[in-house]
Amino acid sequence: MKKYVFLLDALNLLNKVVNEGRRVEGVLFRDESTGNLTFKPYHRRGLHKMPDRLIARLEHGWVKESTERIKVYESIPKVIGTTRVMTVLEREGKEVKNALIDRELIEFM
């Protein structure tokens, strides 16, 4: 038994298959007016997220800048004890502040 599938925007679909890869996402449905099987490709836009920019690398983490946020990551081993963890957090907090000040100074020069 042969089934015919009607392709909406067939030339554009063929270009996508040939140029971009072997798969095209879409929906296969039975057309209500004609009763034929029809394939309609999705026209999705790719994700265009800018990568985060590294401001400073810290002893136990980093400081990065995205388009909307300043991100600080810290990962300190528990083995060193609570008092030393608190000391490291204070010291690296000062380093983060200094890195942000340096970034501002460099941008305005």
pTM (2 decimals)?
0.57
For residues 71-88, b (16+ Cβ closer than 10 Å) or e, as one string? ebebebeeeeeeeebeeb
Contact yes or no for 91/58 (Cβ under 8 A): no
**Better-predicted residue by pLDDT, 21 or 37:** 37
**Better-predicted residue by pLDDT, 58 or 22:** 58
Instruction: Give the span between the Cα atoms of 64 and 61, in whole angstroms.
Output: 10
Please write the tens of the pLDDT for every residue from 8-21. 777 777 777 777 77
Q: What is the DSSP letter of 102?
A: H
Please write the tens of the pLDDT for every residue from 73-97. 999 999 999 999 999 999 999 999 9
Please write the tens of the pLDDT for every residue from 38-77. 888 777 777 788 999 999 999 999 999 999 999 999 999 9
Average pLDDT over residues 88-108: 94
**Better-predicted residue by pLDDT, 23 or 107:** 107
